[in-house]
Amino acid sequence: MKAVSIYPVSESALTICLGNELNAVVNDRVFRLYNHLRKQVNPFWKDLIPAYCTLTVVYDIKEMRKHSQSAFKWVSKQLKEAIDQCDDAGILPSRQLSIPVCYESEFGFDLKSLSKAKKLSIDQVIKLHTAQTYRVFMLGFLPGFPYMGIVNDKIATPRLSSPRKLVPAGSVGIAGNQTGIYPLDSPGGWNIIGRTPLQIFNPRVSVLTDTSLLQPGDEVKFYSITKEEFHSFDQENFNPLSA
């Protein structure tokens, strides 16, 4: 692996930077390292936060200082070793998910302005958004919020100049070459083009892996549904893995 840099983001967290671009190759490396570290039993690593090109490790400095006068140096050394060990760790497990989206204007607040700005018909925008398979690069911002890409340049659009005070849960948006789904009601500045009836985040389920529907590494394809299908959507009997 080349171009690795390590820097602190607090005195109890450091970031390993594996690149500076939005692409699957770098993100694969991040997740190979993430999965490698997850498998190691180290109760003093309090959090592992994978992002597009970086992996951040949050640690307990009191424990780390038992090994060295500098927790930062010691953790850096551990992680450099981990990077060497997991270089050929193979392919990431990835699931294929299909997610229904209703692109009606009552849900897709910014669909019209986006189609105008991009000189496309609304149908063309929907076609372009549903044509691609998107990779979940990372979760962040809100619990379960998937950062996905890469959106076709023809419909890639910068964030709104002023964010909305309330974006309803389920809203599907575009920001630059990224697409995402708001799991919860939240303020937000992404261009909203539709809404999924699917619950993306549920804090009340018993199995942790089910709290967030989407996981990094997942491959997501959207498909268009009608307003009637949106309203009669049966969450209980829907499996996004087989749809």
Partner 1 sequence: MSIEVIKAGMADSVQDTGRFGYQHLGINPSGVMDQNAMKIANALVGNPLNEAIVEMSFPAAALRFNSPAVICISGADFTPKLNGRNIPVNQPVVVTSGSELKFTKMMHGAWCYLAVQGGYELTEWLGSDSTSTKAKAGGMEGRFLKKGDIISFSKQIKEAVTKVFPWRADVSEFYEPAPMKMQPVRCIQGNEFDWLTKGSQKDFLKHNFIVSRQSDRMGYRLEGTESKQSKKQELLSTAVSFGTIQLLPNGELIALMADHQTTGGYPRIAHVITADRSRLAQCRPAEKISFSFVDIKEAEALLLKQEQSLSQLQQACKFKLREHEL
Q: Summarize as ranges the residues that interact with partner 1 (CB under 8 A).
A: 7-13, 15, 17, 20-22, 34, 46-54, 56, 58, 61-62, 65, 69-72, 138-145, 147, 183-184, 186, 201, 203-204, 208, 211-212, 216
HSE-CB for 217 with a 13 A CA cutoff: 15
Cβ distance to partner 1 smaller for residue 1 or 169: 169
Give CA–CA dist 127/123, Å, rounded.
6
Cβ distance to partner 1 smaller for residue 162 or 235: 162
Give CA–CA dist 222/8, Å, rounded.
38
Cβ distance to partner 1 smaller for residue 34 or 109: 34
Q: How far is the CB of 227 from partner 1 (least distance, A)?
A: 27
Are 53 and 30 in contact, with CB atoms under 8 Å apart? yes
Q: Please, what is the Cα angle at 187 between 185 and 190, to 5 degrees?
A: 100
CA-closest candidate to residue 228, choices 120, 104, 128, 105: 104
Give CA–CA dist 194/200, Å, rounded.
14
Structure tokens given for 72 = 């930062």
Q: How far is the CB of 74 from partner 1 (least distance, A)?
A: 11
Residue that is written with structure tokens 């970031």 in the block: 15
Q: How far is the CB of 190 from partner 1 (least distance, A)?
A: 12
Cβ distance to partner 1 smaller for residue 28 or 104: 28
CA-closest candidate to residue 34, choices 178, 218, 216: 216
Q: How far is the CB of 110 from partner 1 (least distance, A)?
A: 20
Q: How far is the CB of 48 from partner 1 (least distance, A)?
A: 6
Cβ distance to partner 1 smaller for residue 6 or 128: 6
Q: How far is the CB of 140 from partner 1 (least distance, A)?
A: 3
Cβ distance to partner 1 smaller for residue 4 or 58: 58
Give CA–CA dist 37/86, Å, rounded.
9
